[in-house]
Amino acid sequence: MFNIEQLKKDQYIRSISLKRDSISSYHNFPFHLPSIKSLDELSFHPNVTYFVGENGIGKSTLLEAIAVATGFNPEGGSFHFNFSTYNSHSILDKYIKLIKGVKKPKDSFFLRAETFYNLATNIEELDREPGGARIIDSFGGVSLHQQSHGESFWATFMNRFRGNGIYILDEPEAALSPLRQLSMLSRIHELVLQNSQFIIATHSPIIMSYPNSTIIEFTEEGTKEIPLEETSHYNIMKQFFDDKDRLLYHLLDE
């Protein structure tokens, strides 16, 4: 189905590398984070690349830096969004080198659960200004604030993502039920077939199960490519469902 060599030529972001010569110390944020201290170069799958790892390892910080270096607003949106609710993003984007492909995306979006409320507010503020088409119409036409977090997240993913684009997602499972996560895989596949590329940070074994992808695991020891079945996320969930009572017994036994 996929000609991987052709896809590599056409992909929007091919790899990143850390500008180590520009870093004076690895003791301060964000350079002290395990995912950054050990980073040299990461290559991305032309379809979907996953960042996985425990909380605090630095995967979301790195994802944010990639998004900002690509041209996104730190709080999310497409390349055209330019707002700031609270300037909290790191300086890491200044210290990574982005290797892009020859093709430029026709669409783009940085979707992050943490700041999605701020994005929805900015859309409403822009749509109150006179003149021009309503931005919310490209998100399904219904105010994102008038929907649940999951519904508004899903409406954005289904309506605003148009294909031929670069899409960076930070923990999308935070807003989605397991059923929606499964549906998300189907939508990802549709968009991949429409020449799209995804980079996704996630804790969800469901979301990270898309077959035409690369999973990059971040640990205290560094980064490595890993199959789904070897991720701690998958194995913990499998252990729970295979023998829930035994696991709970050990967790709750006093």
For residue 128, the SS3 value is: coil
Residue, of 44 and 2, whose pLDDT is higher: 44
How far apart CA 87 and CA 73 sit, in angstroms, is 11
The arrangement of strands across the sheet holding 165-170 comes to 107-112, 165-170, 197-201, 48-53, 213-219, 222-225
**What is the pLDDT confidence band of residue 7, given thresholds at 50, 70 and 90?**
low
**pLDDT (0 to 100) of residue 78:** 82
**pLDDT (0 to 100) of residue 15:** 95
**What is the pLDDT confidence band of residue 4, given thresholds at 50, 70 and 90?**
low
Average pLDDT over residues 195-223: 94
**pLDDT (0 to 100) of residue 129:** 87
Amino acid in position 185: L
Rounded to whole angstroms, what are the CA distances from 166 to 117, 198, 240?
22, 6, 35
Q: Over the chain, what is the mean pLDDT? A: 89
**pLDDT (0 to 100) of residue 8:** 58
The model's pLDDT over 110-129, given as tens digits with 9 standing for 90+, comes to 998 878 888 888 888 888 88
**pLDDT (0 to 100) of residue 1:** 56
**pLDDT (0 to 100) of residue 84:** 61
The model's pLDDT over 13-72, given as tens digits with 9 standing for 90+, comes to 999 999 999 999 999 899 998 888 888 899 999 999 999 999 988 899 999 999 999 999
Considering the entire predicted model, what is its pTM? 0.90
Percent of the chain clearing pLDDT 70 (strictly above): 93
Whether 88 shows a pLDDT value over 70: the answer reads: no
**pLDDT (0 to 100) of residue 163:** 94
Whether 141 shows a pLDDT value over 60: the answer reads: yes
Residues composing the chain: 254
- Residue 201 dihedral angles phi and psi, to the nearest 5°: -95, 125
Per CATH, which fold does 4-252 belong to? Rossmann fold (3.40.50)
How far apart CA 52 and CA 230 sit, in angstroms, is 12
- Which two structure tokens, joined as six digits, stand for 196? 């799209």
**pLDDT (0 to 100) of residue 5:** 59
**pLDDT (0 to 100) of residue 130:** 83
Amino acid in position 134: R
Residue, of 33 and 83, whose pLDDT is higher: 33
**pLDDT (0 to 100) of residue 86:** 58
- Domain coordinates in residue numbering, the chain: 4-252
